[in-house]
Amino acid sequence: MHSTSSGPIAIHLETFAPAVFSTSIGWLGFKIIRRISQKTEIVLKHTQEPLRENEQRDWQSPRTTTVGFAYLLLVLVIASAWGFLEAALASVLATLLFNFFFFPPIGKFTIADPQNWIALFSFLATSLIASRLSAMAKRRALEAIERHRDLEHLYAFSRAMLLIDKAGPFPQQLLDRLAEIFELRAAVLFERNTGAFCRTGIPDIGFEDVEERLREAAVHGVSLSDPNRQPIIVAVRLGSEPIASLALQSGMMPESVLQGIANLVAIGLERARAQGLAEQIEAARQSEQLRTTLIDAMAHEFKTPLTLIKAATTSLLASPDEPNDSRQEQLAIADEEAEHLRKLIDDAVEMARLDTTHIDVHPQISDVQETIRECVASMESEIDHRILEIGCDKQPPNIAFDRRLMKLAIKQIIDNALKYSPADKPVAVRVLASNGILTIEITDHGPGVPVEEQTRIFHRFYRSPSVKDQIPGSGLGLTIARSIAQAHKGDLTVTSRPGETTFRITLPTSYAGDKK
């Protein structure tokens, strides 16, 4: 029994124990795997959405950055093209669009992530600052351009002021240049010293009381540069002293430009006044020199006829019983020398008149050779026993000229030739005609004129240093002769070498006098 019953028990124990162990292990493993699977599923479930969000964010991040830079560039372009106000509006609009289209929740003007607030306000601040800087740079560039243009206008005005024709009225020309360069509709200049007004342009409404306002500004030195009131009144000062005032009708003009215009006008007026004063002083000096020179020349020229007249009258008074023939001879000498003296006085007066006034020419068709013979006949006492040769290549044409003036010019040149030529050498006068030009040549055989003096001898009062103390003269003869020739649209020139000098009066054969 014992052995029979123990067998099955042993077998049972051997077969049961492995089966229970295996089943328990399998169930435990299944539960563990299931738990891991559940945990994994939970983990995967929780990580899939962030992964998708990261993936979406990774896809959107470059796009968002690109759009942000594009918006910023657009704002800068608007700031550069228009200004800060337009750029500020564009910055706000770009920020709203950025939020609406590119920050979640997309399509709404709400911000889910607090970090996006920082991003949006940083973008807005950057846009506004960049817009401000761009607008400032644009404004400064425009101001620099305006300053450059103003400087160019002031420079052009100063240059034009230096080139103003001295023959015309300086204040009027100055005002005309000012209006032209600065494109003024109208302008008025008042000079305090003279009380004169100069005007240019066509004034609009507002110029009714301009004269009184200009006087007030010139007296008190107060500028009325109110851009809302036209015209603008500018006081012109020389140092601290007001000397004039300007009324300008124009658009907006900076205060610096107005002051620059006033300074240039002051300099121009003072320069014109100084030049006028210098010309008056020079004219007075030359007038005094002219009087002195004429007195010296007249004293020398008058000496011979006065001496002869004095000798004749003294002889008559000393010999009252002198025969009639002798008395008549003495009276004839006195009369002849008195006539010579009268001609000398007339010539001196004529020379002085021609030297100080405009030469009034009265041309008439005349024979040049006959005019030369009349001139030589009037110089009988100067020529005396000298040799004077007159000739021409062929019969010259009759031309229009002022006989009185031309005889005076020829006489001055012949007299000059006789003074400088040796007594035994001839003085030749020739008349030539060629190519519409009639030429009167007067040649002497004196020492000649140095090259460096051939221009200066035509200057008033100039006399060569080498002969001025040896040969009498006024230094006016050649100047007057040249002025007469030029008044006939001709000229007086000289060619010279040692031992020979030739003066040439050239006259156009077509000259018929100035058109009135």
Beta bridge partners of 236: 244
Closest CA to 431 of 391, 489, 464: 391
Could you tell me which residues are beta bridge partners of residue 190? 197, 245
Q: Spell out the SS3 assignment of 103-149.
A: CCCCCCCCCCCHHHHHHHHHHHHHHHHHHHHHHHHHHHHHHHHHHHH
Average of per-residue pLDDT values in the chain: 76
Strand ranges for 130-280 from DSSP E: 186-191, 197-201, 232-238, 241-249
Residue predicted with more confidence, 40 or 332: 332
433 pLDDT more than 50: yes
Average pLDDT over residues 21-27: 38
Per-residue confidence (pLDDT) for residue 166, from 0 to 100: 76
Residue 364 has pLDDT above 70, yes or no: yes
Using the predicted structure, report yes or no on whether residue 365 has a pLDDT greater than 70: yes
* pLDDT-wise least confident of 316-330, 365-379, 455-469, 482-496: 455-469
Per-residue pLDDT, averaged over 199-218, amounts to: 78
- The CATH number given to 278-357 is 1.10.287.130
Can you list the alpha helix ranges (DSSP code H) found in 365-402? Answer: 368-378, 380-383
Say if CB 505 and CB 485 are below 8 A apart: yes
**pLDDT of 88:** 79
Which of 92-106, 452-466, 472-486 shows the lowest mean pLDDT across its residues? 92-106
What the block records as the tokens of 80 is 């550069």
As a whole number of angstroms, the distance between CA 388 and CA 427 comes to: 5
Please report which confidence band the pLDDT of residue 501 belongs to, taking 50, 70 and 90 as the band edges: very high
401: left (phi over 0), alpha (psi -120 to 50) or beta: beta
- β pairing state of 500-508 and 388-392: unpaired
For the ranges 94-98, 284-288, 472-476, 483-487, the lowest mean pLDDT is seen at 472-476
Rounded to whole angstroms, how far apart are CA atoms 118 and 103?
12
- Contact call for residues 75 and 94 (beta carbons, < 8 A): yes
Beta-strand relationship, 427-434 and 388-392: parallel
- Identify whether the C-beta of residue 490 lies closer than 8 Å to the C-beta of residue 506: yes
The tokens for 393 are: 């290549």
- pLDDT for the residue numbered 190: 92
β-pair partners for 199: 188
Task: Note the pLDDT of residue 22.
Answer: 37
**By CB neighbour count within 10 A (0-12 exposed, 13-18 middle, 19+ buried), where does 480 fall?**
buried
| Domain 359-508 sits in CATH 3.30.565.10 | yes
User: What's the whole-number mean pLDDT along residues 433-448?
Assistant: 91
Predicted pLDDT at 468: 66
Q: Which of 5-19, 27-41, 288-302, 388-402 has the highest mean pLDDT?
A: 388-402
For 57-66, 208-217, 237-246, which range has the lowest pLDDT when averaged over its residues? 57-66
Q: How many helices, marked H, and strands, marked E, lie in the chain?
A: 11, 11
Higher pLDDT, 19 or 374: 374
Given a contact cutoff of 8 angstroms between Cβ atoms, the answer to whether 109 and 100 are in contact is yes
Q: What is the pLDDT of residues 240-273, one digit of tens each?
A: 888 999 988 877 788 888 889 999 999 999 988 8
Mean pLDDT of 288-311: 73
Categorize the per-residue pLDDT at 446 as very low, low, confident or very high, splitting at 50, 70 and 90: confident
